[in-house]
Structure 1
Amino acid sequence: MSGADAMLPARRRFLRRLTGAGVAVLMPTGSPALGQTAVVPYRTEIIVRTVRSLHNAGEVTKLVELAAASHVGVINIAAKQDEDDEVPSGTVFYASRIAPRAHGWEAFDALKETVRVAHKRGLKVRAWVPQFHDQVAARRHPAWQMQAAVDGKVAPFSGRDRKEYFVNPLNAEVQAYQRSIVDEIVRHYDVDGIVLDWVRFDDYNMDLGPETRARYRERFGVDPLDIDFKTDSAARQQWNGWRTDAIGAYVRSVRQAMDAVRPGLELGVYILPPEFVEVGQDAAAFAGYVNFLSPMAYFRDWGYEPAWVHRSVLPLTAAKAGRAAVIPVLDEDWTALDRGSVSAHRPVARLVAGRFALAAPSAL
C-alpha cells in the first residue's frame, strides 16, 4: 500500500491511541524469544500525547512514576499538538511567546513539569515537535497553506475529509516559523532532545503554490502543474527528488540552529516507512544530521503481518540511516508472538540497538 489516501487515515487512528497512560515492555529482561538464545533487552521509550494525558501536575507525576516502574528510559512528550481532534494542531503545551497555548493549558506548562519530575527520577525527556501539519499557522497566514493539484486545478489542500491543515514545507517563512518554535524550546527548557514529526508532504501533487511553481520553473524549465502525478515518470521522479532534497535541507537547518544554542543536543525524526515515497520524505537526505530515525511500524493499521517490520521497514530504514540509530515506533497492542517474530531476527535487533519507542495507553 503506497497511496496517501489509504495510508493517512490509518496514521490518524494510530496517533489517537498515543495517550501515554502506560507502557508495555517489549522484551522481558533475559527472556529468550521463540526458542532463540537470549537477546539484549529493549530499552523502552514512550510517546505521550499531552492533550490526552497531562492536564495537571498530578497526572505528570503518575505518568513518570508508572514509566519509572516499567523501566522506561525516555519520555517523548508532545510540546506542540500534532492533530486537530481535541485542540487545533500548532497549539502548544508550554509557555511559548510564539505559538498560542492549547485551550486548557494556559496556566499549566506540561513540558516544564514533565522535565522537572522525570529528571528527578533519572528519566530523559524529549520534546516531540510536529512541523508542517499546523492549523494555527495555516489560519494565521493563509498564504502559507499547502496548495495541491486536483483535476488540473490548484487549491488549498485540506485532505480527503477536508480536515487537514498543512503548511508548505518549501516556504522560507514557514520554515523559519517552525524552526523558531524548536529554538524556543531548546533555549528555555532542559530537554534531552527534540523529535521532529510531519516533516513531509501528503502526496506527489503538492506544493503547487505560485512561489513553488516559479522556483521550479526557474530551476528546471517546467511548470510542475503539467506533471502527471498519478503516473510514474522521469518528470515525477525529478519533482519528488527536488522536494526530498528540500526536506533534507530543512532538517539540516534545524540541526544547525540547535547546535548554535546547545551543541550536540539529540535530534530525531518520526518518519513514515521508506516505501511511502509519495510524501517526499527520504530519510537518506537528512540522516546525517540526526541522531536517530523512528519509522512508524504499525503493521496492523496498514494490513501487514509482523514480518513486514523486520523484512521491510527496519532494513529499508537502516539502509538510509548511516550512523543514525533506528528506533521504530510500534503498536501498543503487540502480542508476545509479534514481539518474538521481530526480536528473533538478531541482525535487525542489533541494528536498532535494542531501543524501541512504544506508544501504550493501557498495556499495564
Structure 2
Amino acid sequence: MKLFIKCTFALFFICLFGQVNAQQKNLLYFDATANYKRFANKDSIIYYLQKSKEVGVTDVIVDVKPISGEVLYPSKIAPVMKEWRGYTKTGNFDLLETFITEGHKLGLTVHVSVNIFSGGHNAFKRGIVFSDKKKSKWQSLNYTAKGLTPITQIENKWSAMINPANKEVQDYELSIILEIAAMYPKLDGIILDRVRYDSIEADFSPLSQQLFEKYIGAKVKKFPADIYTYDVNKKRVPGVHFKKWIEWRAKVIHDFFYTAKAALKKSQPQMIFGDYTGSWYPTYYEVGVNWASKEYDPSLTFDWATPEYKNFGYAEALDLYTTGSYYYEVDKAEAANIDVTKVNRIEAGQGKGKDDWYTVEGSAEMAMEITKGKVPVYAGIYVEQYKQDEKQFIKALKMCRKKSDGVMIFDIVHVIEKGWWEGLKTGLTEAINN
C-alpha cells in the first residue's frame, strides 16, 4: 500500500511539474529568400533537415510566404516565386511537400511561416502591391512627419505592408492560409507572421477613418490630427482619440486571429495554429498588437492602454507562440551595460531603452508572465545579432530554454554561414542550471 501511494504521488508530481518539459521544443526557422537557392533541390533539403535533427532541433519552420507576398508552393491564389536575385529554380518538385515528407521521416514537426499583412518587398519593387493594380490600393497609407504617404514611397521600408482593417485584404490572406491547409493536410502547423500594422504611422486611409468612426460611434472632427500630430521637432503628440485608436487597431488584429483560427480548425482541426511577434510588449502597441492573455491588464502599467485594451489580447487563440527575444544581452544584469547608441534594434515598434526586458532573460520572463500560461511560449534569438561571439549565442539558447518552453532560432542561414552547428547543439542539448 505504501509503495502504491509513493508511486501515485510520483506520477502526480510528474504530471504536475512535467507539463512544460513535455511541451519543450527547439524550433529552427528556414527563411524563404535567404535560402532560396540553397533549397532549390531535394538533396539540400534532406541534408539540412538531418543536420537540424542531429543538433537537437525538434521543429522546423519553413517560410513559404515571405514579405514580397509571393509564395514557395504551387498556389492558385498568390503569385509563385520562381526566381530570386537572379537565380531561377529548375526541376519540378514541391519544396513544401519535400520538407513535410522528409522532416516526418526524421521525427521532426514541420510548420510553415506565412507573412500575412505584407504585400511587397520595397527594395526589389516586387510583390502584389507592385504587380496588381487592384491590390496596390491595399498598401498602407502612413502618417509621417511629411504628411500622408503610401508605404511604397517611403525610404527604408523593406515590407510594403497592407491595411489589416481592409476586409478584402483579410479575405485574401485567409484564402492563402486555407489553401495551404487543404493542399498539405500532413503539415503539422501554420505560424503567422506580420499580423500587424507597419508602425504607429499606419494606417490612415479613408477606409481606416471610416471603420474607426464606426467603432467609437462618432465622427472624428480633425483626422488625422485628433489621433496625433507632430511638433516642431517631428515628435508625435497624442490627440484626443489616440488611446481609442490604439485600442481599435488591437481589436482589428485580435479579430483576425480568432477568424483565422476558426477557419483553420474547421478545415484541419489537427493543425497547430501559431504566431510570431516581437517580444517588446511595452512598445508593441505601436504596431497594433496585443499578444498577451486577456487576463493581463496593461492599463495598470502603461499609460497608452485603455481599460478595454485587455479585451483584445489573443494568447488564448493560439496553440503555439514564439517571440523574438532579439537582443545581444542575455542576462538581465547585462541591461545596465547597454549602449543605446549602438544597439541593433530595427524591428517594428522596437525602442532603444535599457530596461531589463531588452535582454533575452527579461523578455522571455515577460512573455511567460503576460501570456498567463494560455499558450506554450518559445523565446527566439536572431543568430546574426551575436556576430562572432559563439559563447554568447550558446548562452542565449540556454536562457531561452530556461525561461520559456523552448527556443526559436532565426535563421538556419546564419548557422550555416557561421559554421555554428556544434554551438547550436550545445545550446539546445546541454543541461541548463535552474
Q: Does 1:146 align with 2:140?
A: yes
Name the CA shift for 1:172/1:233 in 2 (closer, same or farther; >3 Å).
Answer: same
Report the Cα distance in structure 2 between the residues aligned to 1:131 and 1:50, rounded to whole angstroms. Answer: 14
1:137 to 120, 128, 138: 128
Name the CA shift for 1:349/1:207 in 2 (closer, same or farther; >3 Å).
Answer: same
1:287 corresponding residue in structure 2: 315
8 A contact 1:93–1:105 mirrored in 2:
no
1:275 to 251, 260, 282: 282
2:15 corresponding residue in structure 1: none
C-alpha deviation, 1:210, in angstroms: 1.3
Name the CA shift for 1:126/1:162 in 2 (closer, same or farther; >3 Å).
Answer: closer
8 A contact 1:216–1:224 mirrored in 2:
no
8 A contact 1:217–1:224 mirrored in 2:
no
Report the Cα distance in structure 2 between the residues aligned to 1:75 and 1:272, rounded to whole angstroms. Answer: 19
Report the Cα distance in structure 2 between the residues aligned to 1:325 and 1:124, rounded to whole angstroms. Answer: 15
2:181 corresponding residue in structure 1: 186
- Give the 3-state SS of the residue equivalent to 1:328 in structure 2: strand
1:239 to 236, 241, 245: 245
8 A contact 1:306–1:342 mirrored in 2:
no
1:336 to 378, 391, 403: 391
8 A contact 1:137–1:144 mirrored in 2:
no
1:45 corresponding residue in structure 2: 27
Amino acid at match of 1:359: D
Name the CA shift for 1:111/1:200 in 2 (closer, same or farther; >3 Å).
Answer: same
Q: Percent identity?
A: 20
Amino acid at match of 1:58: D
Which gives a bigger RCO, structure 1 or 2 (Cα 8 Å, sep 6+)? Answer: 1
Aligned length: 317
8 A contact 1:152–1:225 mirrored in 2:
no
Q: Does 1:228 align with 2:235?
A: no
1:313 corresponding residue in structure 2: 363
Q: Does 1:169 align with 2:175?
A: no
After superposition, where does 1:73-152 map in structure 2 within 5 Å? 73-82=58-67, 89-103=68-82, 104-105=88-89, 107-135=92-120, 136-139=127-130, 140=132, 141-151=135-145
- Give the 3-state SS of the residue equivalent to 2:326 in structure 1: coil
Report the Cα distance in structure 2 between the residues aligned to 1:306 and 1:216, rounded to whole angstroms. Answer: 35
| Range 52-61 or range 213-222, more displaced | 213-222
1:328-351 Cα distance to aligned partner (Å, 9 max, x none) = 11122464356447846xxx8565
Name the CA shift for 1:123/1:306 in 2 (closer, same or farther; >3 Å).
Answer: farther
Amino acid at match of 2:243: Q
Report the Cα distance in structure 2 between the residues aligned to 1:102 and 1:128, rounded to whole angstroms. Answer: 15
Report the Cα distance in structure 2 between the residues aligned to 1:199 and 1:357, rounded to whole angstroms. Answer: 20
TM-score normalised according to structure 1 size: 0.79
Name the CA shift for 1:43/1:305 in 2 (closer, same or farther; >3 Å).
Answer: farther
C-alpha deviation, 1:270, in angstroms: 1.0
Report the Cα distance in structure 1 between the residues aligned to 2:401 and 2:104, rounded to whole angstroms. Answer: 28
C-alpha deviation, 1:297, in angstroms: 1.3
Name the CA shift for 1:95/1:338 in 2 (closer, same or farther; >3 Å).
Answer: closer
| Range 239-248 or range 352-361, more displaced | 352-361
Gaps of at least 5 residues in structure 2 are: 1-20, 83-87, 121-126, 230-235, 293-312, 329-343, 346-351, 422-434
8 A contact 2:63–2:113 mirrored in 1:
yes
Report the Cα distance in structure 2 between the residues aligned to 1:342 and 1:123, rounded to whole angstroms. Answer: 19
- Give the 3-state SS of the residue equivalent to 2:241 in structure 1: helix
| Range 245-254 or range 326-335, more displaced | 326-335
Name the CA shift for 1:257/1:156 in 2 (closer, same or farther; >3 Å).
Answer: same
Question: How big is the alpha-carbon RMSD for the aligned residues of Structure 1 and Structure 2?
Answer: 2.7
Name the CA shift for 1:111/1:306 in 2 (closer, same or farther; >3 Å).
Answer: farther
C-alpha deviation, 1:217, in angstroms: 2.3
- Give the 3-state SS of the residue equivalent to 1:225 in structure 2: coil
Report the Cα distance in structure 1 between the residues aligned to 2:205 and 2:397, rounded to whole angstroms. Answer: 43
